[in-house]
Structure 1
Amino acid sequence: MRIDIKGYLEHNHLTIYKVAKKSGYGYTTLHKSFNKQQTSATSLNLRDLHALAATQEVAMWQILKELEEHYLKD
């Protein structure tokens, strides 16, 4: 299963630039991660979840729950 991270960003009015700026992670690092081809072996990592959580000032588990409930693709 894959996560529609671009759909999540769009729905939450976020850009990779905004996430990088608010979370303190590098733009290039997040851009590569959010745009990589996901396989069953590679999905979002903890850094990505932490960046999204820090940007929105919520707990990482809340981001993960929302992604699992609304943004999984077959």
Structure 2
Amino acid sequence: MEIDIKGYLREKELTIYEVSKRSGYGYTTLHKSFNKQQTRATSLNLRDLDALARAQHATMWQVLQELEENYMNWK
């Protein structure tokens, strides 16, 4: 399974730079994470969820729920 994080960012009209700035996490760290090839061993981590939640003034569980419901690609 893979999460379409780029699709999520597009739908929310967010850029990695905006998420970085709003969340306080480093741009380079988030850029590497959001652009990496996902495998079963390297999925979205808690830092990524926290950054997305902070950027949108939401909770991590809300972001996770939306990702699971709308942005999961089952391979």
**Over aligned residue pairs, what C-alpha RMSD do you find?**
0.4
Q: Distance in 2 between matches of 1:41 and 1:70?
A: 21
Normalised to the residue count of structure 1, the TM-score between the two structures is 0.98
Tell me the matched-pair count.
74
Task: Point out where structure 1 has 5 or more consecutive residues left out of the alignment.
Answer: none
Match of 1:5 in 2: 5
Kindly, what percent of the aligned residue pairs are identical?
Answer: 72
TM-score by length of 2: 0.97
Q: How big is each residue's C-alpha offset from its partner over 1:22-64, in whole Å with a ceiling of 9 and x where there is no partner?
A: 0000000000000000001111000000000000001100000
What amino acid is aligned across from residue 19 of structure 1 in structure 2?
V
For 1:5-24, what per-residue CA distance to the aligned partner results, in whole angstroms no more than 9, with x for missing partners? 00000000000000000000
Q: Are residues 1:57 and 2:57 paired?
A: yes
Q: Which amino acid aligns with 1:9?
A: L
Flag structure 2 segments of 5+ consecutive residues without an equivalent: none
